[in-house]
Structure 1
Amino acid sequence: MTNPDIVIIGSGIGGATIASGLAGSGASILMLERGEPLPATPHARDTRSIFVDGHYRPKEMWREAGGAAFNPGNYYYVGGNSKFYGAVLIRYRKEDFAAMEHFGGVSPAWPFTYDEFEPWYSKAEQLFRVRGALGEDPTEPFHSIPYAYKPVPDEAPIARARAELKNLGLHPASLPLGVDIDTWLKEGKTGWDAFPNTGQGKVDAQTGPLTAALTDQNIKLETGAYVEYLEASPDGTTISAIHYRQNGELKKVSP
């Protein structure tokens, strides 16, 4: 695909969700992802490999403003950082969209309100198959559509803690999660936060929106495609070409 209508760089939460939203539009869309699909290996459920050895962390080093080098917490795979996320998909509260005074200053209001944004939250919750329960959290804002799936059930210690908190007059609430708990536990008896999703246990950018997007034959995904630079139009208002390296070869695509 040398002259697609649209080029999306990255297949993480942002890129995959945009691609899913554009599916069925008739536009030809090329997605460029520098990583490859995350392989299923014993490392995926090995706590030492993940948290001590840094098996999945990139080998590159970045630099802070002062010049000190550090290893970034980025992951370069199809699905991006969401392959390792905790799958908590909570909505901002209505008040978060308004100007808010903090100790360090004022956080300005968003250019739109929660009510304007709410339908898109509902679409995202359906896309990521979010599990949750309305009515538990008194700070939960208005939902036009209820959660389609029941919350992840409490383990026994959490159930006891929930009951004790309720007895104190508090409101313990289930986190909205994009997790198929039964599938996750069948693949390995571990938690899921920071553990890579090599199967279908978590609904991440790949297993959710990207899978849906790629059912459209007009959307193509190229992996191992490292974007080196963007070429602007003479007036600087648009991107006229994307230059990327794949398998050692420098390529160019012009949307």
Structure 2
Amino acid sequence: MKYDICIVGSGAGASPVAYTLAKAGAKVLVLEKGPWLTEKEFYKDELAISLRDAYNPSLSDERHVIEEEYERENGTSFWQGESTENSGWSFWNGNVVGGSSNFMSGYFHRLKPVDFKLKSTFGEVDGANVEDWPISYEEMEPFYTMVDEQVGVSGKVVDHPHQEPRSNPFPYPPIAEHPVSSWIDKAATELGYHPMPVPRAVLSQPAMGRRSCEYSGYCSSYGCSSGAKGSARAALLNHAVATGNLTIKPNAKVFNIASNATGEITGIEFYDTKGNKQKALADIYVVACQAVETSRLLLASKGPKFPNGLANNNGQVGKNLVFSAGGTGSGDFDFGQLSEAQIAQLTAVGPFVNRALQDWYEIEDTAFNGINKKGRAKGGTIDFLFHQNPIARAMGSQYGDDDELVWGEELKANLTQEFTTYRTLRFEVFNDWMPTDDCFVALDDEVTDKWGDPVAKVRIGYHEQDLKVGEYLAAKAETVLTQLGATNVSSSVSSYPPTNLMAGGCRFGNDPATSVLNKNCQAHEVDNLYVTDGSFMPTGGSVPYTYTIYANSFRVAEHIKQRWQRSVKV
């Protein structure tokens, strides 16, 4: 059967296209490499999540090669790759219907107008490939609103120095807050900061056939058993399937997008559940299987017109991969220094902390003299949180002061101390990962997956400004914890990428020589090919990416819908 639209992937980048086109009456096929799980499979199994990585492929079957930079004794450097099968460092984020959106925390901060024009606002950065976006915040804003309504975003708009323009309030009130949120409000305000509630892609009340949040405390990395979390599957694909126009094929591993001598796509080739090769045909093709795997698929899809990979005659596919820079920090609250009422508040389980700071989304500080315009740099976001899950909290208790494993009474004492004598409040910092020539996706020459296909080789070079901005923001977050009276306040900003926050590799732009896609996320070189996951982003911004991926996919879906409707009329 030939479809109107064939989509590779089923996450936040794919689902708005499937939803919009299926609702419009088009026949849509979604090819998803993982299984089709539902709420009944998403029970709160800590061992499955914390220790077994249950919703991702085995690294012995599907791996990546990660290239890191090493220094020689003479001061020169070199890049060395290692298979993740050997390192155990997984770059997978949820291979199931709905993708990684099933397992997100759902922090839904919008990008701000400045994120769309970093180069023109701050100027060039030596050693970085910063470019303005070919669209503006004003063009994206209606689609953020669409996400609020269709995916379901709970929140409250408050004034703060970098509040972005909004055309509508959030459609759902904020989710319940942990008592410590009011502590953060007081401490941050005393310091002259502007704390804000975090918008969440979690329903605070029943809607759209989904239950509201049940405050189990198991959210980040866990599938949602109530359907409250705005995953692509629960929020969009379920409704799209109900139209009768969407077909989802789970356990379908796409390995090639075939094309002919004129560059026309002739079908998408995939392995079915039995390992047999199959081919899907459509008029329009959409790739949305997350940044690394999307680049890998295009690079692997060679044809007569594209010997270096589909839509890659300019050599830009896989280039300018970005993650999210920043780091984490924490402070401890010793129960011996608190009243019983304070301890009761601090140890409450279930509600979210849900507090953020964006006072330094744009930094004006002499510490940044020489970076871009004098004393100015793009900053970022600070989010506060608890690690509520017992196994996650217990990790580390199995080691003694000498970093040797302990057991018996000593292990019991460590666990008792962890769970009964103090509580740790944490924060995360999000800031821009500068796109550079040393962060990209290629195909590995030697390592293959279980089907015999070359795996993605990912070079993870970073820019020094990533660390400088991250450290600046972490220091600000530490002042809040100190003001709260926390002890053991510390932070860590790393050059290693958070593998759940990736974008770029197929950036969009107006110049076909320096970008893969045009402003509508349509390939410059392939008329009926679109890329709608985070790959399109030239820069990542200073917030988690899922909200923006959803919004952009809704934007592109409208363009594809109009194109399809014109073709039907003809």
TM-score by length of 1: 0.88
Deviation, 1:46, is 3.2
Gaps of 5+ in 2: 68-79, 85-89, 206-210, 283-570
Question: Is the 1:38–1:198 contact (alpha carbons within 8 Å) kept by the matching residues of 2?
Answer: no
Higher RCO by CA contacts (8 Å cutoff, separation 6 or greater): 1
The equivalent residue for 1:246 is 272
CA distances 1:130-168 after superposition (whole Å, capped 9, x unpaired): 111112433121111211011123211122221332343
RMSD: 2.3
Does residue 164 of structure 2 align to residue 141 of structure 1? Answer: yes
What CA distance in whole angstroms lies between the structure 1 residues aligned with 2:238 and 2:33? 18
Q: Which has the higher strand share?
A: 2
CA distance 1:176–1:104, change in 2 (3 Å):
farther
Which of these residues, 188, 211, 218, is aligned with residue 191 of structure 1? Answer: 218
Indicate the larger mover: 100-109 or 204-213. Answer: 100-109
What CA distance in whole angstroms lies between the structure 2 residues aligned with 1:52 and 1:166? 39
Letter in 1 for 2:103: F
Letter in 2 for 1:160: W
Does residue 71 of structure 2 align to residue 45 of structure 1? Answer: no
Secondary structure at the counterpart of residue 143 of structure 2: helix
The equivalent residue for 1:210 is 237
Indicate the larger mover: 170-179 or 59-68. Answer: 59-68
Secondary structure at the counterpart of residue 91 of structure 1: coil
Indicate the larger mover: 159-168 or 146-155. Answer: 159-168
Gaps of 5+ in 1: none
Letter in 2 for 1:131: S
Secondary structure at the counterpart of residue 128 of structure 1: helix
Letter in 2 for 1:158: S
What CA distance in whole angstroms lies between the structure 1 residues aligned with 2:41 and 2:27? 38
Look at both structures and tell me which one has the larger radius of gyration over its CA atoms.
2
The equivalent residue for 1:23 is 22
Does residue 201 of structure 2 align to residue 175 of structure 1? Answer: no
Letter in 1 for 2:142: P
Question: Is the 2:3–2:29 contact (alpha carbons within 8 Å) kept by the matching residues of 1?
Answer: yes
Letter in 1 for 2:172: Y
What CA distance in whole angstroms lies between the structure 1 residues aligned with 2:111 and 2:93? 24
Deviation, 1:27, is 1.9
CA distance 1:218–1:184, change in 2 (3 Å):
closer
Question: Is the 1:58–1:72 contact (alpha carbons within 8 Å) kept by the matching residues of 2?
Answer: no
Indicate the larger mover: 16-25 or 81-90. Answer: 16-25
CA distances 1:13-46 after superposition (whole Å, capped 9, x unpaired): 1111111122332321111112112366788423
Letter in 1 for 2:174: P
Secondary structure at the counterpart of residue 81 of structure 2: coil
Question: Is the 1:58–1:74 contact (alpha carbons within 8 Å) kept by the matching residues of 2?
Answer: no
Which of these residues, 76, 79, 83, is aligned with residue 69 of structure 1? Answer: 83
Question: Is the 1:89–1:178 contact (alpha carbons within 8 Å) kept by the matching residues of 2?
Answer: yes
The equivalent residue for 1:232 is 259
Secondary structure at the counterpart of residue 138 of structure 1: coil
Secondary structure at the counterpart of residue 64 of structure 1: strand
Indicate the larger mover: 113-122 or 18-27. Answer: 18-27
Runs of 4+ that moved beyond 6 A: none
What CA distance in whole angstroms lies between the structure 1 residues aligned with 2:19 and 2:213? 28
Deviation, 1:219, is 1.7
